Amino acid sequence: MGLAIGVGALVLFEQDNPAAAQAMREDLAYINTVLEAEGLPTHQEPEAFEGIEGGRPRPRSSLNSFPYSWLHYLRRFGAHIMRDPRWVPYPVEPGEDPADDRVLRQLYRQLRSHLLCHSDSEGYYLPIDFHEIYFDPKHKIRGGALGSSYRLREELLLLTDALEIEVDADGNLDEDYVTELAAQRPTGAPYAIERLVWLALYEAARLSIEHKTAITFY
């Protein structure tokens, strides 16, 4: 078992898992009551994506599911950069759990980062631009925390220099370069896991914003 990251998930669930589709509808209905109470726009998840081959947006990343622990490799990396942009990266030692990183745990407690402060197994990011992560005191939001796709993308772009990922002035990736990134393997090259997870999240955020669809962790 591991984490799957999807966009356009309601369309997929309607086709393959009606019970999951109904659960997502109920989740989003409750989330909209929360958004209204916070004075934010509500979210209407697309029922279809016209003119898109395959019926829903497809990320350019080759890896959209991976072990839960991989997410913590990127979060550890991100926590160090957020604390000190001049941080000189060093890899996770063999046998070390990146989730136990001291700096990562410090930043978790600040509850400010949309990349760091989200469930690693379920939940949503929405294509709505808000800064404060919403933590549901009623524990009815799947995963416990609701994030913004805009803020997730913004935080991911803070990591590009340290990860040696090439983006243009608008934070976009060249098509050929995306193909090169997606062809990586999670072994061998330094920070390969971090770069693969970065690309999966970046692509999810890009498509979420472009097509006004939720990012779903499941």
Q: Where are the domains of the chain?
A: 3-217
**pTM for this model (two decimals):** 0.96
Task: Provide the residue count of the chain.
Answer: 218
C-alpha–C-alpha distance, residues 217 and 4, integer Å: 6
> What pLDDT score does 53 carry?
84
What angle do helix axes 68-83 and 102-110 make, rounded to 10 degrees?
80
List average pLDDT for each run of 10 residues in the chain, which is 218 residues long. 93 95 98 96 96 90 91 98 96 94 97 97 97 94 97 98 97 95 86 96 98 98
**What's the confidence (pLDDT) of residue 159?**
98
Q: Quick one: which of 9, 39, 37 has its CA closest to 138?
A: 37
Q: How far apart are CA 52 and CA 54, in angstroms?
A: 6
Burial 65-75 (b: 16+ CB within 10 A, else e): ebeeebbbbbb
Strands (E), 18-87: 65-66
Residues 6+ apart with CB under 8 A from 93: none
Instruction: Specify the 3-state DSSP secondary structure of 40.
Output: coil
Q: What is the pLDDT of residue 71?
A: 97
Distance, CA of 37 to chain centre: 25
Residues 148 and 128: beta-carbon distance below 8 Å: yes
Residue 64, pLDDT score? 86
Residue 144 pLDDT: 95
Distances 38 to 3, 34, 85, 95, 131 between C-alpha atoms, Å = 29, 6, 32, 43, 12
